Chain A
Amino acid sequence: MKKFALAFCLAASPALADFAPPITDPVTLKACGECHMAFQPSFLPARSWDKMMANPADHFGDNATMAPDKAAQIRKVLMDGAADTNGGRMGSKVMKRQAAGATPLRITETAWFQRKHDLPERVWKRPGVVTKSNCVACHPAAEKGIYEDD
């Protein structure tokens, strides 16, 4: 019986989702989450977040201007939880695939993301997806840091 239970657990374990610790700071959560999902900081190295938060007025071509003290707080939260600082298991997975010293600004351009999302073009064309950065379109619990495959 024990053997059977073990086999069962092994068979079902891939079902356990990838987990990235979500942001807890309310200011950061609200500011990021206003225009897009508040992506978990463990998806990028600290230097990436540092560079991104240096100029919110040009945020991937969009204007994300905010009060300087607010920007500084968010910058700290993101850098503290980054892939190479406190990003946990998810962070080390991201860093392992990253070229040393690279500063990716988009999570979707990291080697880790691309490896996990080698999907046919039609999947990205599904209604409601809009862009590859719209995690919740396919991972309903992404905001809580849970990325299950179904």
Chain B
Amino acid sequence: MSPKLEFTLLRLWHAALAGGFVVAYVTADEDTYRMHVFAGYWVLGALASRLLLALAGSEAGPLRLRRPSLSFGKPGRNPLFAWMAALLLPALALGAVSGIIADGIPKAEDLHEGLAQAGLWLVIAHAATIAWIFQGRRIREFLSGAALIAAVLAAGPAQAGDPARDAILAAYAKEAGQPFSAARGEALYRSKNTASPDFASCATCHTNDPAARGQHAKTGRVIEPVAVSANPKRFTDAAKVEERFTRDCQTVLGRACSALEKGDYVTFLAAK
């Protein structure tokens, strides 16, 4: 399981558990008894599913339930996470199970109420601890991500032509003295070369689909799409375009690129 999927499952599970708990808490009156019982079983089911999720989670992933330790300050997940899980899961389970007992033996109702109340305080302490650990970072990251998406949506679809890109192409055209071909550009993009064992082709890092995100073969750095359709800012900064051709032609082809090759390449990716 990928860490991203594990975190998503962990969030969904928190939603299921918290939802069940809140419903149980507000329906504790006699007149909403059936809903209360249902929510109680829901909470118990959610707690059981947490154990199954822990079995399905990867070795060092967030779904794992680790034995609490005192190894503060060492690399790895903060040990407080393990302590919270070890405290909260049994405490909430006790609350739910005592509810089932109280359903049969009314004398146990006080015990159930006490345990449920204690569970609520534990949940509040849990939320406070999480807030302390992340100090709003996760929320800020989420908000800045949302703001970015909104900005992209507001910007609307990419423009077809860009004056800066046209100027770059015009300069290469003047030097090359003949028209460019997207087909030749594509052949160059996909060509396999022997100059560098790590970087055999443009597609090594930019992938076979230029509209997809790439990844630097050595550093693992994400590379934004090189196709203009997916990344309208491509080939609009002349100095940067030259810098990249200088480096990457030398690396991948073992030589400098001609103006014709540069023009073909840009033409291919501007249409892609």
Q: Which residues of A are in contact with B by a Cβ distance under 8 Å?
A: 11-12, 14-15, 35-37, 62-67, 116-119, 122-123, 127-131, 133-134, 137, 140-141, 146, 149-150
26 sampled A-B residue pairs with Cβ under 8 A? A11-B72, A14-B72, A35-B216, A35-B219, A35-B221, A36-B220, A36-B221, A37-B221, A62-B251, A63-B247, A63-B251, A64-B247, A65-B250, A67-B239, A67-B243, A117-B75, A127-B2, A131-B219, A133-B219, A134-B220, A140-B141, A141-B137, A149-B77, A150-B77, A150-B81, A150-B133
* Bitwise interface map of B from 23 to 53 toward A, beta carbon under 8 Å scored 1, else 0: 0000000000000000000000000000000
In contact, A36 and B81 (Cβ under 8 angstroms) = no
Instruction: Tally A-B pairs: CB < 8 A.
Output: 72
Contact between chains at B132 and A15 (CB < 8 Å): yes
Q: Which of B215, B218, B220 has the most CB of A within 10 A?
A: B220
In the bound assembly, the distance between CA atoms of A122 and B59 in angstroms comes to: 10
Kindly list the 5 A-B residue pairs having the minimum CB-CB distance in the complex, ordered from nearest.
A130-B220, A134-B220, A36-B219, A14-B72, A15-B133
CB under 8 Å from chain A, chain B span 226-272 = 239, 243, 246-248, 250-251
List chain A residues, Cβ under 8 A from B2.
127
Grouping DSSP codes into helix (H, G, I), strand (E, B) and loop, the A interface class, with mixed when no group exceeds half, is: loop
B78 within 8 A of A: yes
Q: Kindly state whether residue B76 has any CB partner on chain A within 8 Å.
A: yes
Q: Is the CB of A12 within 8 A of B247?
A: no
A36 cross-chain contacts in B, Cβ below 8 A = 216, 219-221
Contacts of A134 in B (CB 8 A): 219-221
* CA of A64 to CA of B76, assembled, Å: 34
With A131-B219, A141-B137: A63-B250 Cβ-Cβ less than 8 Å = yes
11 other contacts beyond A37-B219, A37-B221, with CB at 8 A cut-off? Answer: A12-B80, A14-B73, A36-B220, A64-B247, A66-B243, A67-B243, A128-B220, A129-B220, A131-B219, A134-B221, A149-B75
Please, which residues of chain B bring their CB within 8 A of the CB of A130?
A: 215, 218-220
Please tell me if B171 contacts chain A, counting CB pairs below 8 Å.
no
Is B219's CB under 8 angstroms from A11's CB? no
Residues of A within 8 A of B243 (CB): 65-67
Contact among A12, A128, A140, A149 for B76, CB-based, below 8 A: A149
**A1: min CB distance to chain B, Å:** 14
- B137, A62: Cβ atoms closer than 8 Å: no
CA distance A65 to B77 in the complex (A): 40
Are A15 and B78 neighbours in the complex by a CB distance under 8 Å? yes
Name the B residues within 8 Å of A128 (CB-CB).
220
A14–B72 CA distance with the chains assembled, in angstroms: 6
A84 shortest CB reach to chain B, Å: 25
